[in-house]
Chain A
Amino acid sequence: MRDTLLTAITANVASSNVSVSSELPWIQGDEPLYSINMKKFYLDEEQISNTVLFETLDDNKIYETETTMEGFLEVDAKNPLSDIDTVISGILGSKSAIANTTIAESNYSTETENDRITYTFEFRFITY
């Protein structure tokens, strides 16, 4: 699922001021990669949760699978990207690339520290 989402995000921001890394946002030294490489989007590993939707007497349980992923983008707060709205829209809209989901949601939040603004994207998918 991460590969599909990453491919869609790469395509959706291809002509913008933001690039997309295939690496996980691991921490180099004391800083995560998205802080070291600003204007580069990083998608974290999938978090998967299986919960029982239906118990059955023959023990054939029906499971609900929730998959969540976080993405990170850090940019200069003093000089915001001119196309940041398009970039955000492209990243959020990439959720549609995941097929066979009952729920596909995406949202983002921001945090400003010193002269940097960090965009944290959250993707949530429900499958059965």
Chain B
Amino acid sequence: MPAPINVSSGSQAIIALGNVSTQADITGANNAQILPYLQDITINNSTGVFRWKTLDSTAENAATTPATNSISMNIVVDETSFFGAANVENSVIADGIFGTSKNKTRVHFQVGLEGADSTDVTITGEGFISGLAPTVNMDSPVWVTPLTIEVDGDYTKGAVA
């Protein structure tokens, strides 16, 4: 029977960040930065395509090339997570999202699709924070920003231990 993954509580679609892989822990352990106020999150895995034609064929041939991976999301700007708080272990917490982007620090991430309970599916990887564009206006006077993690390399599917 099909088993759709739905988000029915505030602890299911989550992302953890850290400057070393162990900190990318959606359970919140190991000094993980669990990003608050996620409005939406998209896991992009877009392969390139090489196409060629031959005279003896009526249609193009195709082969995929390495994928461009990125995690994109929109968040409500939280002062602590955006600008940083004292933390000697995880520089993503210490520098905040803004500082991590500005400093071009490599980040490790773990995305939870169905929560942080044992055997729940995760996707991990590493990359760089990009695409911050905090915005506010009088019709919606709370700061929000897009955020993209430009993934360096491949994703790894895993599960919460």
The reply to whether A57 and B142 contact each other, CB–CB distance below 8 Å, is no
Q: Taking the complex as formed, is A59 at the interface, i.e. its CB lies under 8 A from any CB of chain B?
A: yes
Contacts of A57 in B (CB 8 A): 7, 10, 12-14, 38-41
A58-B76 contact, Cβ under 8 Å, with A53-B140, A53-B142, A128-B142: no
Q: What 1/0 flags go to B3-15 for Cβ under 8 Å of A?
A: 0000101111110
Which chain B residues numbered 63 to 86 have a C-beta less than 8 Å away from chain A? 76
Q: How far is the CA of A119 from the CA of B14 in the complex (A)?
A: 53
Size bin of chain B's contact surface: 20 to 34
Contacts of A59 in B (CB 8 A): 9-11
Contacts of B140 in A (CB 8 A): 53
Q: Taking the complex as formed, is B99 at the interface, i.e. its CB lies under 8 A from any CB of chain A?
A: no
Q: What 1/0 flags go to A58-69 for Cβ under 8 Å of B?
A: 111010000000
Size bin of chain A's contact surface: 10 to 19
The reply to whether A62 and B142 contact each other, CB–CB distance below 8 Å, is yes
Q: Taking the complex as formed, is A55 at the interface, i.e. its CB lies under 8 A from any CB of chain B?
A: yes
Contacts of A58 in B (CB 8 A): 10-11, 14, 34, 36-38
Nearest A residue to B40 via CB reads: A57
Q: How far is the CB of B27 from chain A (nearest CB, A)?
A: 14
Q: How far is the CB of A53 from chain B (nearest CB, A)?
A: 6
Q: Taking the complex as formed, is B144 at the interface, i.e. its CB lies under 8 A from any CB of chain A?
A: yes
Q: Taking the complex as formed, is B2 at the interface, i.e. its CB lies under 8 A from any CB of chain A?
A: no
Q: Taking the complex as formed, is A26 at the interface, i.e. its CB lies under 8 A from any CB of chain B?
A: no
Contacts of B7 in A (CB 8 A): 57
Q: How far is the CA of A55 from the CA of B10 in the complex (A)?
A: 10
Q: Taking the complex as formed, is A56 at the interface, i.e. its CB lies under 8 A from any CB of chain B?
A: yes
Which chain A residues numbered 25 to 77 have a C-beta less than 8 Å away from chain B? 53-60, 62
Contacts of A54 in B (CB 8 A): 37, 39, 76, 142, 144
Q: How far is the CA of A27 from the CA of B94 in the complex (A)?
A: 59
Q: How far is the CB of B9 from chain A (nearest CB, A)?
A: 7
Q: How far is the CA of A58 from the CA of B36 in the complex (A)?
A: 7
Nearest B residue to A59 via CB reads: B10
Q: How far is the CA of A54 from the CA of B138 in the complex (A)?
A: 14
Q: How far is the CB of B40 from chain A (nearest CB, A)?
A: 7
User: Could you say which of A56, A60, A62 has the most chain B C-beta atoms within 10 Å of its C-beta?
Assistant: A56
Given A57-B14, A58-B11, 14 new contacts (CB under 8 A): A53-B140, A54-B142, A56-B10, A56-B39, A57-B7, A57-B10, A57-B39, A57-B41, A58-B36, A58-B37, A59-B10, A59-B11, A60-B37, A102-B141
Question: 5 interchain pairs (CB within 8 A)?
Answer: A53-B140, A57-B7, A58-B14, A58-B38, A128-B141
Nearest 4 Cβ contacts at the A-B interface: A59-B10, A57-B38, A57-B13, A58-B10
